[in-house]
Structure 1
C-alpha cells in the first residue's frame, strides 16, 4: 500500500472511530432549555432566575441519574425580553439549534404559552409554571369538557379556583360593602380571569364591577377610576403588567379612588419589593396573593435549600430583597429533575412526556401532582394572601410582605393579621 493510501486509510479509520464517540457523547448529555423574561416590563419576574439556576447547577454537579444511567446535565437559559414573539423565537432556537431534550419556562402567559406552542408543534417535552393554568390550557385552544389536545406540554401553577378560595377568605378579614372593581387587561390572563373568576366571585356573594378590557401599556385610566368611584367599590382587584399598576394607582390616589377602597388586591403586579419601593407611601397596606414566601415550610430538592435558606442565599448574593419568584423558579427545576429521575429513558421524548404526565413530587411551593388533574396537562398549586407593610429595621427593602390568609394553602402558617388599606398611613 502506498504512503498516500495508507494515510487516507488511517484518517478514514480515525473518523469512523470518532463519529460513534461523538454520537455517544451527545447521547450521554441531557440538555434542558430554560426560558424566562430577564428584561423588559416583565423582567422583574426573571431577576432571580440566574441565581436559582446557578444553585441548581451547583447542586446537580453537572450530572443526573435517570433510568439507572448517569447523564451529563446541561442547562441553556434564554431571555424573552418580555416579548411573546421572542419567546417563541428562542424556544425554536432551543429545539432546532441547541437540540434540547426538555424545555422549561416560567412567568406569565406571555412567556409560557408561546414556548409551549413551539414545543407542542416540535414534539419536545415541556414544563412551565407561574401563570394561571386556565390561561395556559384554554388560552392555547383546549375546550372545556373535551379531551386535552396537548401531548408534550405540561404546566403547574395557581388557577382561578385558587384565587376564588383565596379572595373569599382574605376579603372576609376586613369589613366592606363587597363591591369589587375589576381591572383586567385584554390578554390571556385578563380573558381567563374575566371568564372564570368573575362568575365565581359573584357566586360567593360579591358584586363585580368590570371596567372592561384595556390594552397593556395604556397611560390614562381616568374612565376606569371614574366608574369605580361612581359605583362605590370598596375592593379593587387587578391582573396588570407591573408597570401598568403603578400608573393606575398613582392616578387613583390623585382622583380619590385610593381613599375610597379598603382592599387593594393585586395579582401579576405587586409581587416584588421594588414595585412597592417605587410607590412610596402609596405601597403601604396593599394586598396580593403569593405563590411563594420565605416562610413556606418546604424545601427545594433541586437546590438543596429550605425556603428560608433560598431567600437568604439570594439576598447575600445580590444585595437585594428576596422575591416570590425565587421559590417558583426553584420549584420548576424541582419538578423537572424529579420527572427526569423517574423516567426510564430521559433522552426518549415520549418517555419524558409520560414521566411529566404522571409526576407527583414535593417542591419549594409544595406538592406538584399531575395525577390529580383537573385536566391532563395541568395541576394547580396553592396561594396565600399577603399584605405589604413598612419594613422592620434591618430589612433590605422598604417593605416587607406578611402572610395574612391561608385558606387555599393550609400547610402554610399566617405571619400577621390583615388590615384595611389606608392610603399613606403607617
Structure 2
C-alpha cells in the first residue's frame, strides 16, 4: 500500500521525511498519534490518531466519530488491532457514506485510555468538547466503557459500546431493575453474566469433574457482577462454588487463594482478572500444586489473546475460555465488507500477529454504528441518532444485534462460544483455538472437542 492511499487528514508543519513515512503502513498514523494535529482552526490533543475519507469534497458534510479504547497499559492488548480495523472501515467508505440521499465524509478519531478509567473519561471529554464529535464508540472492559458512556450521557452525545458484560454497563452505572432507564444517549451490546452461566454449564459437563469450582474474582465491576449473578446460577445447577473473596487488581501473592482451592479440592477453576494478573496466579498455582489437580481452567477477561497464552509457555496449553468473536464465526462485517475469516487473515498479514477476539468485536461495533447512522436518516442530528440506536436491529461480525428485544433498556445481547487453547499441530502460529461449546450461540459450528487441562500440555 502506498503512502498516498492512507486515509488521513492533511498535516501541516510535519517535519517527517517521505522515507520515514513509507517504512511502514502505520508510520504516518503513529506520527499523528504522538502530536497535536492541526484541524482547521482547532488543535486535537496529543494521544489521538485520526482517519478521514480520502476522497472528500470540500462541500461534503462530515460525520465525526470518536473511538476510545485501551491502547497502552495493562489492557492494551484489547486495542492492538484498532488502527488495522479502522483502516478497513475507511477503505470501505473511502468515497463517503450516503444517507437519505446525502453523501457524508467520515472522520474517525482514536483515543487511548491508557487502561485507566480516569483517562477514559478525560479522553471522552476532550473529543466531545474539543473536536465536537457527532458519535462516540468505545469498547473493552467496564473500566473503559462506563466512564466514556457517563461522559457522553452528561454531554448529550450518542454513544455505542461493546465488550463489557451488559450488567456492568447498565446496573454498574445506576440502572435499576423494573424502573425506567436513566440513560438517553448511551447504548451497549455484549454478552451478559447469564451467557457465561449457560456457556459454563455446557462446557464444564464435557469433562468429568467433582463439580467443585474455585472462583477468583477481583474487586472491580466485572468481579462484583460475576459474584452476584454467575456464582448463584452455577450453584443452582449443582456446582459447589468456593469463592476466595475480593482481591485487588495487581495483587502479586495468591498463596491464600491457592491454598483454599487445594483444601477444598476444586477441580474447576474460574477467574475474571486483569490480563496481567492471571499469569502471576497460574505460575504460583503450578508451583504450589494446584494446577495439577485442576481439570477445567476457565478464564474470562484474561486468556483472550494469543500473546497472553504464549507468554506462559507450556502452562498455557489446554486452558479454557469463552470467545465473543472467532475467525470461524459465519458472519460478515458491514463496515469492512469482510467475512470473519477475512478479518482474521487481514489482521495477521498486516500486523504479523495471530488474530484476536477484539478485532472482530470492534468490527461489530462499527457494523452497528454504520447501521445506526444510516437508519437515523439524519446522522448530524444527535436526537435522531440516539433514537435510531434505541430501535437498532443490525447484522454484525458477532451476529444479530437487537436493541428492540434486549435484556434491559439501552442494551442488546451478543453470545459466546467455548474455546480451548491448544498447541498448534500445523500452521504459522504456536497456538490454535478450536470452538468446543456452542450452547450459547448455536448458529456457530463446533470445530473441536474439549479435553481436560493437563499441566504442561
Alignment TM-score, normalising by the size of structure 2: 0.86
**Larger relative contact order (Cα-Cα within 8 Å, sequence gap ≥ 6):** 1
1:251 aligns with 2:284: yes
Q: CA deviation at 1:399?
A: 1.2
For residues 192-231 of structure 1, the aligned pairs below 5 Å read 192-231=225-264
CA separation in 1, counterparts of 2:178 and 2:241?
Answer: 27
* Aligned equivalent of 1:401, options 410, 421, 433: 433
For residues 25-424 of structure 1, the aligned pairs below 5 Å read 28-61=61-94, 63-396=96-429, 398-424=430-456
Q: CA deviation at 1:353?
A: 0.3
Q: CA deviation at 1:160?
A: 0.8
CA separation in 1, counterparts of 2:324 and 2:388?
Answer: 24
Please identify the structure whose Cα radius of gyration is greater: 1
Q: Secondary structure at the match of 1:173?
A: coil
Residues 1:382 and 1:40: Cα distance change in structure 2 (over 3 Å): same
Q: Secondary structure at the match of 2:78?
A: coil
CA separation in 2, counterparts of 1:362 and 1:59?
Answer: 17
CA separation in 2, counterparts of 1:341 and 1:196?
Answer: 36
Q: Secondary structure at the match of 1:361?
A: strand
Q: Secondary structure at the match of 1:371?
A: coil
Listed as ranges, the gaps of 5+ residues in structure 2 are 1-56
Q: CA deviation at 1:25?
A: 6.7
CA separation in 1, counterparts of 2:235 and 2:59?
Answer: 55
Q: Comparing both structures, which one devotes a greater share of its residues to helix?
A: 1
Size of the aligned set, in residue pairs, is 401
Residues 1:69 and 1:224: Cα distance change in structure 2 (over 3 Å): same
CA separation in 1, counterparts of 2:141 and 2:240?
Answer: 27
Q: CA deviation at 1:167?
A: 0.4
Q: Secondary structure at the match of 2:404?
A: helix
Give per-residue Cα distances to partners, 1:305-361, cap 9 Å, x unaligned. Answer: 000011000111111111111110100000000000111211111110010010001
8 Å contact kept, 1:40–1:82: yes
Q: Which runs of 4+ in 1 moved over 6 A?
A: 24-27
Listed as ranges, the gaps of 5+ residues in structure 1 are 1-23
CA separation in 2, counterparts of 1:310 and 1:423?
Answer: 33
CA separation in 2, counterparts of 1:147 and 1:184?
Answer: 30
Alignment TM-score, normalising by the size of structure 1: 0.93
CA separation in 1, counterparts of 2:212 and 2:304?
Answer: 24
8 Å contact kept, 1:62–1:73: no
Q: Secondary structure at the match of 1:45?
A: helix
Q: CA deviation at 1:395?
A: 2.2
Residue aligning to 1:16: none
Deviation larger for 140-149 or 277-286: 140-149
Give per-residue Cα distances to partners, 1:387-422, cap 9 Å, x unaligned. Answer: 0000123223x2111100000000000101000000
Q: CA deviation at 1:62?
A: 5.0
8 Å contact kept, 1:27–1:347: no
8 Å contact kept, 1:67–1:343: no
